[in-house]
A and B are shown apart, each in its own frame.
Chain A
Amino acid sequence: MRTATRTRTRTWVVGALILGALGFLLARGLGDATVYFKTADEAVAQRASLGTRRFRIEGTVVAGTVHQVGDDVRFVIENKGATVAVRHRGDPPELFRPGIPVVLEGRFMARPGRRGGDGAAEFESDRIMVKHTEDYRAKHPDRVSGTSQ
């Protein structure tokens, strides 16, 4: 009776360990497949295969490129030297500004971009998400004693 209970407990424990390990591996394995965004340089490199498919792209907003055209906001994002011209429909989020990293949802436009002249990639975005870092710094450093920068 007692050994029977023991064996059953052991089976359960082993089962649990196996399932746990499986979940762990599955999550790690899936990791390679789940790419939340492509960086601007990757997207430019994969331009042909991406076509007009919808995906997320990441890059830093280049200073001096942001301007409003009608309802659109146009700007350029940059990552590892590669630049992508962006046309965004709608209002960008509050924290959107030059020099900030952003993740955009949208697609490359079918025809080659008119800007840049060299057929630079143009991205049509309908959602801007501002990606902020884990750095937190006071806006007015003088308000904080001992953290003059």
Chain B
Amino acid sequence: MTRVLGIVTAALLAVTAVMALVVSPPDAVQGDAVRLLYVHVPTAWVAMYLSFGVTSLASALWLWPRTRRRSWDLLAGASAEIGVVFIALTLAVGSIWGRATWGVWWTWDARLTTTAVLLVLYLGYLALRRVPADPDTRARRSAIAALLAFVDVPIVHQSVVWWRTLHQQASVLEENRLLHPTIHGSMLWTLLIGLTAFTLLYFWLLVHRFRLARVEDEAEDRRLELALAERRAEADVVPA
């Protein structure tokens, strides 16, 4: 099943690459630099909405006593790791695109600043997950931190509306844009295929990272049991 997902993902990513580099035309203003759009938007989508969204949802499900399961905590962590990778990619690709179109690698406008804050917030979240504690304490802490960090996601999304920015407005994820896109013809198709490909890539990565997290978790449990058994054995050998 995962293998099928992997193959479909790889195929769609290949289609995206061909569409982005060969089929889609250069932009009237930006020329070939526009091709970065087909990576920049999908990575942002995967990081902000998918990864951090799933992290928040899983964290909330852990916090809710009726749905509390260790797996939710592991899923939240796995998803956040992918999110951090993709938000870093978004910033890197965005920076290169910015140099090509705006003429600068970086500027402190609201969109760029709040996105950088988002990266730092989730790096902090991942760091918090590494702070030694018993699994339940760690899960609670992490879940609350995840929900707090997610507050920045709608701020990033709205930053281009609330404030004046150098960054352009939303091209796809905006009510009016969905029906009347400002991206024309095959450029829009390329972007939509790219979004689908990166979405599948996210799920493929998530499945693998989650499985690994569970194995790690079980190994940790087993180590703990072994250590306890050893102590007991020692206690039996050495008479009190």
List A residues at the B interface (Cβ < 8 Å).
6, 9, 12-13, 15-16, 19-20, 23-24, 27-28, 31, 34-37, 58, 92-96, 100, 103, 127-141, 143-147, 149
Shortest Cβ gap from A56 to chain B (Å): 9
Shortest Cβ gap from A90 to chain B (Å): 10
Measured CA separation A134–B27 after assembly (Å) = 11
Given contacts A20-B151, A34-B163, A36-B110, contact A94 B27 (CB under 8 A): no
Chain A residues, Cβ within 8 Å of B187:
136, 138, 144
Given contacts A36-B110, A36-B163, A136-B27, contact A94 B100 (CB under 8 A): yes
Chain B, interface size category, equals 35 or more
Contact assessment for B101 and A137 in the assembled complex, using a CB-CB cutoff below 8 Å: no
Contact assessment for B168 and A132 in the assembled complex, using a CB-CB cutoff below 8 Å: yes
Measured CA separation A67–B187 after assembly (Å) = 34
Contact assessment for A139 and B148 in the assembled complex, using a CB-CB cutoff below 8 Å: no
Given contacts A95-B30, A139-B26, contact A130 B102 (CB under 8 A): yes
Contact assessment for A132 and B148 in the assembled complex, using a CB-CB cutoff below 8 Å: no
Given contacts A92-B103, A95-B30, A129-B102, contact A136 B166 (CB under 8 A): no
Contact assessment for A144 and B101 in the assembled complex, using a CB-CB cutoff below 8 Å: no
The 7 closest A-B pairs by CB, nearest first: A93-B103, A147-B185, A138-B25, A144-B185, A134-B168, A136-B183, A137-B28
